[in-house]
Amino acid sequence: MAIEHHDYDVLVLGSGGSGLRAAIAAAEAGARTGLVCKSLLGKAHTVMAEGGLAAALGNVAPEDGWTTHFQDTMFGGKYLNNWRMAELHAKEAPDRARELEHWGAIFDRTPDRRMSQRAFGGHTYKRLVHIGDRTGLEMIRTLQDKTVHSDVDVFMETTITKLIKDGDRVVGCFGYRRATGEQITFSAKALVLATGGSGRIYRITSNSQDCTGDGYSLAYEAGAEMVDMEFVQFHPTGMVYPPGVAGLLVTEAVRGEGGILRNALGERFMEKYDPKRMELSTRDVVARSIYTEVKEGRGTPHGGAFLDVSHLDSDYVKRKLPSMYDQFLELAGVDITKEPMQVGPTCHYFMGGIKVDADTGATRVPGLFSTGEASGGMNGANRLGGNSLGDLLVFGRRAGFGAAEAAAQVGSVSLPQEEISAAQAEVAHFLSRSDGDNAENPFLMHRELQTIMGDGVGIFRDKEGLTQAIDRLESLQGRVENLKAPSDRLDYNPGWQLCREVKNMLNVSLMVARAALMREESRGGHSRLDHTAYSDYWGAHNIVIHRESEHDMTLTPTPVLTRDELVELVEARKEAEKAA
């Protein structure tokens, strides 16, 4: 039976900020462009971003400039960042923010009527362009409208399960329409993975349902390299109660506006961990502090810390934190102007991802590009708040142009039939494999995977826990071929979708756990109880992962990509930190 097929110069997977920006750029460069996403347009994970977009415009603090933003990003990333990415981001984010405004985005203003900027952890100056606490929505809506009026064909609710290669080159992909289950193939001269992160490998996460690491897994299977996968950002403040909303984000702006953290004994415990910066210490430090308080028996009734803004004027709280006020009132029955919230760490962001060329987003696989949270390098060991939204625009645009340029060098491409057949067989298998006793339910296996990751690969790690987790993940790997959707319908079948997603999440979990075991030090988002200090060796190396053969995941320590002309800036920052 013939299946639906489309041909493009550039095909972008993902309609978050980075995917939309890439598609706009590719179309602008004259490429015939398609965009595919699992969800509906305008509903990607990016829509949840709250705080803002970091760009050294200097509207509020005229002293700010790209060099300081670059230094802040490097310091935040504990110097493991790809220097060129941090440089390009700092230099280009201001233009990308202005461009959004020229496309119709509306941001909060300064008294002299320019884009306003707010303070955030780790940024030397007030730097985050924002609108209230819904900056991601503004960004998505603006890019969505720009995309719709650019020459881009959009395929919504379409799930891609395999990249298709012809020899060394990625030439397209295979998937199905969620509403009907009908199969679909795309051929493309260049393909951009803008598929976001993989927060769903943890049970407690701020991430949306989309975030199952599909891009990481597809790229890895197609031969791309992954970098920094051990660095997962746990945001210090997620909701802990009621159970159904555990993990839901409580924005950093709550602490920015003066929120105070206390343990069950009423102690303001950040005094112990970072007396200088207190509640506004970096995310990794605050997350570890809360975790430690709970672990040592000083947690709140629901196993978190108290976060209190009730000492602030109640109208001020409602004006500055409207969605937090609503969220707690509606979902937890807590009026935050009168009583404290209970919060605890939640999996939030993947610093690691597909290894790309900073300037073009190219991976090492011809025809394959990546951008956004799906790609790695920009943030090193820890991301500063606000640096993701800037990243999406700067590198989304670069990947779109990069892909369009690469596509222009290629004649026509076609999809080898045996690759299509293999992809078809895989999705069919999830539906139709015979029911033995060993059929695995994807919902249950997903829970199991989340338990393993929470137990052994959480905020604090050690050799024993990691080794156990890896063993357990490897045993899951033996069972993953037995995944079977509990229903065999084709149309809108969530269990079927989850089968492939669980496979992807398992790949990602193994990368995270193995890299975490290899990195014998503590740095940024990675804390080892058995190696608590920085190591000089690891401070100069990223862990790069690639697939040598089917079950051979190879990890290689690789020197950090530095740049001669930036050495002075980096050294100056290191000196300043030492002096402080």
Ligand X SMILES: Cc1cc2nc3c(=O)[nH]c(=O)nc-3n(C[C@H](O)[C@H](O)[C@H](O)COP(=O)(O)OP(=O)(O)OC[C@H]3O[C@@H](n4cnc5c(N)ncnc54)[C@H](O)[C@@H]3O)c2cc1C
* Residues recognised as catalytic: 235, 255
Residue closer to ligand X (CB basis): 370 or 441? 370
Q: How many residues bind other proteins (CB under 8 A)?
A: 66
Asked if 486 interacts with other proteins (CB under 8 A), we say yes
Give min distance, CB of 578 to ligand X, in A.
Answer: 29
- Tell me which stretch binds other proteins (CB under 8 A): 27-35, 142-150, 282-290, 389-397: 142-150
Which of ligand X, other proteins, none does 244 bind, CB closer than 5 to 8 A by kind? other proteins
- Host H or E run for residue 26: helix 17-28
Write the CB contacts of 561 (distance below 8 Å, at least 6 apart in sequence): 82, 83, 84, 358, 377
**In this chain, which of 242, 311, 432, 529 binds other proteins, going by CB under 8 A?**
242
Distances (CA, A) of 568 to 526, 545, 563: 27, 30, 10
The amino acid present at 163, given as its one-letter code, is L
156: left (phi over 0), alpha (psi -120 to 50) or beta: beta
Using CB under 6 A as the criterion, which residues of the chain lie in contact with ligand X when the complex forms? 13-19, 36-39, 44-46, 48-52, 135-136, 159-160, 194-196, 206-207, 210-211, 214, 249, 349, 372-374, 385-389, 392
Q: By Cβ distance, which residue is nearest to ligand X? A: 16
Give min distance, CB of 356 to ligand X, in A.
Answer: 13
d(CA 489, CA 181): 8
d(CA 467, CA 77): 26
Give min distance, CB of 96 to ligand X, in A.
Answer: 12
Give min distance, CB of 179 to other proteins, in A.
Answer: 5
- Tell me which stretch binds other proteins (CB under 8 A): 118-126, 270-278, 330-338, 474-482: 330-338
Token pair for 409 = 């060098």
By C-alpha distance, which of 365, 376, 276, 278 is closest to 547?
Answer: 365
- What is the number of alpha carbons within 13 Å of residue 419 lying toward its C-beta? 23
Give min distance, CB of 96 to other proteins, in A.
Answer: 12
Write the CB contacts of 532 (distance below 8 Å, at least 6 apart in sequence): 522
Which of ligand X, other proteins, none does 85 bind, CB closer than 5 to 8 A by kind? none
**In this chain, which of 222, 224, 336, 485 binds other proteins, going by CB under 8 A?**
485
By C-alpha distance, which of 574, 542, 547 is closest to 377?
Answer: 542
Which of ligand X, other proteins, none does 349 bind, CB closer than 5 to 8 A by kind? ligand X
Write the CB contacts of 247 (distance below 8 Å, at least 6 apart in sequence): 202, 203, 204, 205, 206, 238, 239, 346, 347
Asked if 153 interacts with other proteins (CB under 8 A), we say no
Token pair for 500 = 């492939």
Q: Footprint of other proteins on this chain (CB under 8 A)?
A: 39-45, 47-48, 57, 59, 98, 101-104, 106-109, 112-115, 131-132, 134, 137-138, 141, 145-146, 148-149, 156, 179, 208-210, 241-245, 248-249, 301, 327, 330-335, 338-339, 443, 485-487, 489, 491-495
